[in-house]
Amino acid sequence: MSDALLGTVPDDDPRRRLAAALRPVISLTVSASFDDDVLSAAAAAIEEVGRTLEAAAGPKRVRQQPNIRQHAQEFFPTSPIIGMASPIAPPVVVQVVDGDGGYREIRAEAWFDWPYEGPPACVHGGVIAETFDEILGAAIMVAGSPGMTGTLTVRYRKPTPLRTPLRIEARFLSREGRKIKAWAAIYHGDLLCAEAEGLFIQVNPSQFLAIAEGNVDGADPAVLEVTRAEAVREGAASDVQIIGPVPPPSEPPTT
């Protein structure tokens, strides 16, 4: 099944238009030479835009939950990798294809501009790892085995060039109980630049609920309610044990 059958990516969303307008500003800020007066004038204009947005801002917008019936580009609309509504995303352009192994897979195209530079004219290694984490997560979703990252092993084969068309492949490999394995690679033409193997862990709604309730002060209330409803539907109580060393909301963070 191709993404053509799963809906389209909206191209008239004002939030996406704003994100697209901000991307070249970010890129020019880190890459181009300017006179100080030009930079000062630009800073003043953007500060004014920030004040306007802050004055008009309503409650935190509801975070959209991934839906594999949507176009893959819509899985994480505000993510820092594929999010069309995120000004810090390149964004990586993704689609779903039918894989040889019977599972659907992810194919993507990337073009990393100056803000993602690590070594001279090369993509930062941390950005490559972040990209793999996201694309692998999408790959296991479309294969019907979503999960959270347990371990991510990245092998940097060749320097990944900046400001150059790149292609990415990602696929589900196997599943054993709650453990899900997946693989991905970044290519420049036919040259393998980097590859990654991910071990993901299936997390059921009650575990997500424990994590969300443990971070209730910063949680999106709407997402918390959706998570709670799903946990209740599967028979989980709202007082499930919190996974990991998450302090209760009343405790100040330790340093």
Q: Which of 139, 213, 218 is nearest to 180 (CA)?
A: 139
Tens digit of pLDDT for each residue in 135-151?
A: 999 999 999 999 889 99
In this structure, what token pair is assigned to residue 218? 């910063």
Tens digit of pLDDT for each residue in 3-43?
A: 433 455 566 789 999 999 999 999 999 999 999 999 999 99
Q: How confident is the model at residue 102 (pLDDT cuts 50, 70, 90)?
A: confident
**Are 134 and 122 a contacting pair, CB within 8 Å?**
no
- Asked if residue 95 has pLDDT above 90, the reply is yes
Considering the four listed CATH numbers 3.40.1380.20, 1.25.40.10, 2.40.110.10, 3.10.129.10, the one that applies to the domain covering 1-202 is 3.10.129.10
Domain boundaries, the chain: 1-202, 203-255
Contact partners, residue 102, CB within 8 Å, separation at least 6: none
Tens digit of pLDDT for each residue in 164-174?
A: 999 999 999 99
Q: How confident is the model at residue 228 (pLDDT cuts 50, 70, 90)?
A: low
- Between 184 and 240, the more confident residue is 184
In this structure, what token pair is assigned to residue 108? 């993507």
Q: How confident is the model at residue 66 (pLDDT cuts 50, 70, 90)?
A: confident
Q: What is the mean pLDDT of residues 89-101?
A: 92
What is the model's pLDDT at position 26? Answer: 97
Q: How confident is the model at residue 254 (pLDDT cuts 50, 70, 90)?
A: very low
Bridge partners of 155? 195
Q: Which of 82, 50, 91, 88 is nearest to 64 (CA)?
A: 82
Q: How confident is the model at residue 207 (pLDDT cuts 50, 70, 90)?
A: low
- Asked if residue 237 has pLDDT above 80, the reply is no
Tens digit of pLDDT for each residue in 33-46?
A: 999 999 999 999 99
Tens digit of pLDDT for each residue in 148-164?
A: 899 999 999 999 999 99
CA 156 – CA 38 distance, rounded (Å) = 39
What is the model's pLDDT at position 111? Answer: 97
Contact partners, residue 179, CB within 8 Å, separation at least 6: 150, 199, 200, 201, 202
What is the model's pLDDT at position 154? Answer: 98
DSSP secondary structure, 187-248, as one string: EETTEEEEEEEEEEE---HHHHHHHHHHTGGGS-HHHHHHHHHHHHHTT--TTPPPPSSPPP
- Cα dihedral 231, 236, 237, 243 sign: negative
Q: What is the mean pLDDT of residues 124-143?
A: 96
Query: Strand 148-156 relative to strand 104-110: parallel, antiparallel, unpaired?
Result: unpaired
Mean pLDDT of all residues belonging to the chain: 82
